[in-house]
Structure 1
Amino acid sequence: MASHLSPGNSINEGQKMYGGVTRLNQQARDWIVTAHHGENNNWGEYNTVEEVISAAQNRAKVASKTMPDCLGGGIGASSPVWMRDYSKPNDAEPSEPLAKQKIRAALAEAGSDVQRMVMGHTPQYKINSALDSMAWRIDVGASQGVMGGTPEVLEIIHMGGDNDEDIVSVLTVDGKRVDGSDRAVFDSSIMF
């Protein structure tokens, strides 16, 4: 997208740091095709559920540690693959000063009728929106290996409201439907 390929942004800086797109692709390809899981039980010969979980967690740890920087090795790392400008810090307005400008440009590039972007991979304590509800962060860290968060679902009913507006809600495990506007985070530095 044009907004992410302009001078001075994080993606261009990342390309310079990692040797350009060709080098990024080569590093990713090398990591994917090289065995990097160590001494795991890759054949699936397990006796208990605990052994399966332990092996999966071990594979994830080894894979993360051996992942090239260009793929964002490490929990919470930013890279050309794992862009977190709209999601960090969790449950708050993004700290990236140009986040609102970037997401507006990305949404415009995607189409004149695109109103929001839904994203994961940066856990929040609950589904929420930021940047004037243009960024919906849905990763609630529900797996025990991440945050053990409570599962939630983002529901978008396209043109379901008055004047054909979208209805955006969060569905909770206890059966509640929370209006999307109640999950908007705000910049805490702005005083009313």
Structure 2
Amino acid sequence: MTNEKDDKDKKKSPKLLDHEFDGIKELDNPVPIWFQFIFYGTIVFGAIYMLYYHIYKGGHSLKNEYLASVGQTPSKEGGGGEFDYSQNLTNKNMIDSGKQVYDANCASCHGLKGQGGVGPNLTDDFWIVENTYKGVENAIQVGVPEKGMPGWKTILGDKKIQALVVYIASMQGSNPPDAKKPEGKPGKLH
């Protein structure tokens, strides 16, 4: 017959599993309920996440998030038309925005007033690249590696590059002092 004292001792003594390893016995403690809620909650969250982002293609992809962060619009099937430079050449806000981008990224090679330095003069009518707005935009985006110019598309994005091209167009014919000699083919920017 057992008495109350033996029952209390049984309840207080730890439950041990039947096996041991190197003389170490393992306690048979249940997993806390708060841990079980977190564990099963992550499984439910993972299933919902997979359905929403991978099966049903909802939300924004990482690529689109990145493109938005650098000021580019994610490409879509049948997207909008091309940027019209001729309608923005007198846009003061765009010229000011382009000047800020130029001063921060381009002035070190092309000079503060576009007069040239390491890079070519941007104020004359001679062009190493195609003398169209799209040609200048493309040169900024992908760079001119043989001349040492890096591509800026991933750093600046489409909108800043467009503003930069408008600013470069506004500098045409400004004839700054100490301008670098002409390089490339002659032709007006158009």
Instruction: Name the structure with the higher helix share.
Output: 2
Give TM-score, length-normalised by structure 2: 0.21
Give TM-score, length-normalised by structure 1: 0.21
Instruction: Name the structure with the higher strand share.
Output: 1
* Greater relative contact order (CA < 8 Å, ≥ 6 in sequence): 2
